[in-house]
Every structure is written in structure tokens, then in C-alpha cells.
Chain A
């Protein structure tokens, strides 16, 4: 079974440029998450989807960040324009609700460097 696939693996851009990250979750997983992990910190939730609906986007900086999950499968996270403080690893995860809790499967992440 293929895991969560993210691309690109690395991205270097100049500030004020746009950038997009792509995620393909595990087949059949209806819940998809985007997390941001700053250096030396744990992952912080940006947005959570249940199928194609964003059910928790309270931590997403909506002035510059946007996300979509068309057809409830793949997802794209976009930043426009990027700022220096956006440099981080962007992690995608997916899960299928099991009994009593959720086990998240993470992709390898996209490491973004904003210069």
C-alpha cells in the first residue's frame, strides 16, 4: 500500500513569490490534514478536511494561505505571497477513523525555504 505522497520534497523561493504544495493521501482515507513544522517544534495544524469539506481551518493564515481538496482526494496548499517566516516543513497526513481514535499517516513533507 502506498503511503501519503507529497511533492515537491524541497522548495526554495524568494519572498513575495507564490508556492504550492501537493498531497496525495492514502486511498480510502477521508480525513486529510496539513501541518506546519518549524525547526525545533512539533507539527502545528493548519487545516483539516473531512472528504472535500474543510472542517477546521482556524489556524490557517487566510490572508496568504489557501487550500483545496477537490473530489475529496488530492489536496493542494498554496502560499501567496510567501514571507520569510513561512520557511518550515509542510506536512500532509491522512487518516481513516478507526474505533476510538485516529492513527495519522504522514508524508515526508515539503521543506520550504523563503529567501
Chain B
């Protein structure tokens, strides 16, 4: 069965510093990996996805994610954090069979000014 783990409940970073939000996954076959962001009282919004190709995927709002097959990880990164990046971030995975996304429990990102 496929699963996603986000080992950190919260990540704190100062504005202007780089940020990393961690995600590891387990899936049969090749993974389809996603990051979504949830702002307060808003629905989840798509940030980026990895299907195949380059291990570094670029997405919305300056975010990128690095796929590492040997470590079964898909960490979300941004070179310079903004206060407005503060939100709840979810990693998600599905398998090639096309089943629905399985989400991690989420990581709260807090960027201080």
C-alpha cells in the first residue's frame, strides 16, 4: 500500500533564509509525487508535481522539490523564504495505476520576519 510520511509537524525559518520541508514515500512501482499548500480557511492548492524526468521540479511561488529515488524522498525547498509562505504543506503520492492521492499529515511552515 502506498503511504507518505512528513516527519516534521512544524518548520520554523527566518525570512530570507532557505527552507526545506521533508517528505518520504512508499509506493509500488514508479511514484507520482505532489506538493499542496493550504492557507487558513482556504482549500488546498497545487504547488508542483513529479511524474518523470528531471529530479528537480519547479513549481508555483518559487518553490521547487527534489526527487531522490534511492532515499524515496521528495523534499520541498525554496531558496529564500517569505513571511507569506507561512502555511500548511502537504506531500501526496499515487501509483501508476491511477488511484487517488494519498496525503501526508502535513507540515506547518512558519516564516518569521
User: Nearest chain A CB to B98's CB is how many angstroms away?
Assistant: 8
Which residues in B have their C-beta under 8 angstroms from that of A104?
A: 36, 44, 46, 101
User: Nearest chain A CB to B40's CB is how many angstroms away?
Assistant: 11
A contact patch SS: loop
Which residues in A have their C-beta under 8 angstroms from that of B112?
A: none
A-B pairs under 8 A by CB, number: 58
Taking a contact as CB atoms under 8 Å apart, the answer to whether B51 and A100 are in contact is yes
Which residues in B have their C-beta under 8 angstroms from that of A44?
A: 103
Taking a contact as CB atoms under 8 Å apart, the answer to whether A4 and B43 are in contact is yes
Which residues in A have their C-beta under 8 angstroms from that of B113?
A: none
Any A CB within 8 A of the CB of B90:
yes
Taking a contact as CB atoms under 8 Å apart, the answer to whether A41 and B100 are in contact is no
A41-B105, A102-B101 given as contacts; is B43 within 8 A of A109 (CB)? yes
A42-B105, A45-B100, A48-B100 given as contacts; is B42 within 8 A of A101 (CB)? no
Specify which of A3, A42, A100 is in contact with B106 (CB 8 Å cutoff). Answer: A42
CA distance A66 to B76 in the complex (A): 36
Which residues in A have their C-beta under 8 angstroms from that of B46?
A: 103-105
Chain B contact patch, size range: 20 to 34
Any A CB within 8 A of the CB of B70:
no
Any A CB within 8 A of the CB of B41:
yes
Any B CB within 8 A of the CB of A43:
yes
Taking a contact as CB atoms under 8 Å apart, the answer to whether A108 and B42 are in contact is yes
Taking a contact as CB atoms under 8 Å apart, the answer to whether A108 and B41 are in contact is yes
Q: Render A49-61 as a binary contact track against B, CB cut-off 8 A, 1 for contact.
A: 0000000100000
Interface residue ranges, A against B (CB under 8 Å): 3-4, 33, 35, 40-45, 48, 56, 91, 93, 100-109
The 9 closest A-B pairs by CB, nearest first: A42-B103, A106-B43, A100-B51, A106-B44, A45-B100, A108-B43, A101-B51, A101-B32, A42-B105
Other A-B pairs beyond A40-B105, A42-B106, A56-B99, 6, CB < 8 Å: A42-B103, A43-B103, A100-B32, A101-B32, A104-B44, A108-B41
